Structure 1
Amino acid sequence: MVTTQERVGAEPDFALNPSGQFGVYVHVPFCASRCGYCDFNTYTPGELGGATPAGWLEALRSELALASQRLPGPTVDTVFVGGGTPSMLGGDGLAEVLDAVRSEFTLAPDAEVTTEANPESTSPGFFTRLRTAGYTRVSLGMQSVAPTVLRLLDRVHSPGRALDAAREAQDAGFEHVNLDLIYGSPGESDDDLHRSVDAAIGAGVDHLSAYALVVEDGTALARRVRRGEVAAPDEDVLARRYELLDTWLADAGFTWYEVSNWSKPGGECRHNLGYWNGGQWWGAGPGAHGFVGATRWWNVKHPNTYAALAEKRELPIADFEVLAPRDRHVEDVLLQIRLRSGLPTSLLDADEQARAESAVAAGLLVHDGHNLVLTDRGRLLADGVVRDLLAD
């Protein structure tokens, strides 16, 4: 690995693998306020030190231009604009982001183009503008319909706003709309989760993501847990909630295709499937990560530092590493085992295949053709399954 201090004047070797999916991820670092559980690279107005969305967009254009000079013209299969709160840019701002990508890369005719959005910063006109610009998919942060859960998570939207936003997106012509749920918050009941899942299903979306609450170090929630103000999530409760929501979603016609993601047929997020299946992508924006060939890199985090490097026409890379074959193998197993399509047994060596058979005997994996797929119980213990498979 090249350290950040050694990086000055150094760049990764962007040796693009010509096969497989290629995507572009754009990180928007702006948020109106910080949610207590969030540890993403985001900045509220008071933390920006003069950085502005206009300055960020100009720096983004510079980075994308440099990216296109270093890559041999890959066709972009997917674009994902995440954050932060991309919808704070408004419909016109997000249209400019997509135009910046298009100006440097060729998008496939059927490219999936997604943006995340906070329900409070959307409107019918916002979604109409996105569709006109070329976006094909929207992912909305819902979390819960229980007011107590939203308050604990420091979410500012009202319980019903995410559902209204999902319907507005569909009315504007979006076939693919995702709602994000978070389960296992202290004080949440099974009924709270059931009402949230029912409401999300009732909104007519074709994709749902559901994540167990994780208390990340350095967050406001972690400090509250440490002071004893709220209880830490209970692992047994998290497991039961996962089983419940999986049952409710299956009954409504949703199928899990990744441990934390369910969709109607054809509603899978192709960009995220690219990550899980070992695809390549350019990560643009402050703190964004990219992966090309065997090289992973990550950008400087603060928007001001990012803009300063862009102004000098330098790639804003903080650090990078070249994955050794063993590291790549570990990642392939870690990611593909989480997919409903499963992990090809051909990826495993003889010892790993023997350990996989032990997991089959224990009811954690099943054979599906030439692949190994997690059972319902195995999904609850996916991290442990991976550790056992890769044990030296």
Structure 2
Amino acid sequence: MKKKVFVSGCFDMLHSGHIAFFKEASKYGDLYVGIGSDSTISELKGRQTINSEQERIYMINAIKHVKQAFVNSGSGILDFKEDLIKLKPDFFVVNEDGYSPKKEELCQELNIELKKLKRIPDTGLPERSTTAIRTGGNCTLPYRIDLGGTWIDQPYVSKYHPGWAITISLEPIVEYNERCGMSTSTRNAAKKIWPYYLPLEKPEKLAEILFKFENTPGSTMISGAQDAIGICMPGLTRHYYNDGFWPTKFESIQDETTLEWLEEHISMVLLWPREKGLDLLSDTFINEENVKSLTTAADNVWESIKEKDLEGFADSFLKSFNAQVKMFPSMVNDRILNEIDKYKEKALAWKLAGAGGAGYLILVSEKPIEGAMRIKIRRKEML
């Protein structure tokens, strides 16, 4: 009897990359495909599907590599859990960017072998992703992650000690889930100004426009400026805050060797959404000593990157994260610490993307880490 193989995903706007994935997965046995319902995708991605669940099922069932396709019966990020229990497959197959700790835990619980595949197009075909197709192949609206100094863009932090925040702008090579740390709310605000593409000229001014657009007069909560800066300003940028919402100065690194070096040593792992009801400001320790630790670490992150000093980069990167947690201990809990423990032998350093807790785990390593997503930094485009 052939073994059973299960894969799950949106599979919206079906393309050759999906077919290559099905073909590779089917080598392990009869392939069963669970797709997210229209309502689940709307919840997780913050957008409507291009093709309805009925259309997606019809197309996937027509593919010769697929034994059977069905709509997952649940909701949320593990919408396939009950189907997995009922199907009892031998293998659960995911792409590198489809891996998550929850999937691994569930497979261990159900005694299912988790297989992680690399995104490799079939012979003679270009690499394909739904994100690239949806945007016409142009990376129009970037995401951003921070590498140091998170929280310094809030005046109630920088009033104790001024300092730099460091961000890198990311090409949307995968469609990152709506998670804290990826500035998705600011990115959604940007779509209202620039629905199709981000203008190329004057990125600093674009960032200021986006910041002011998102934070309208009378806003009770001011979104940090680093979100808008990270989206609009390409490459690696640091911005200096001194008891204000907008930075007083900028510095940028755009040379190719530095950006390639960062891409070689930084990867990301998907965690879970920020826990409902989490109040990061309910228990804080913001004072001169702790803020100075944060800013000193950010200074050392920047200098280590300039020198391409991996050991120094990892050390200061981790110190920056530890300084964040010392000021805002609610950022982490036992669940997050347990997840970090899984990478301590593989990574040199780690931190949560952004300041909201959970979301994505950013890893610094000497070599690529299996199952983690590689990043692609947005380069400065010439007019």
Q: TM-score range by the shorter chain?
A: under 0.3
**What is the TM-score normalised by the length of structure 1?**
0.27
**What is the TM-score normalised by the length of structure 2?**
0.28
Whichever structure has more strand as a proportion of its residues is 1
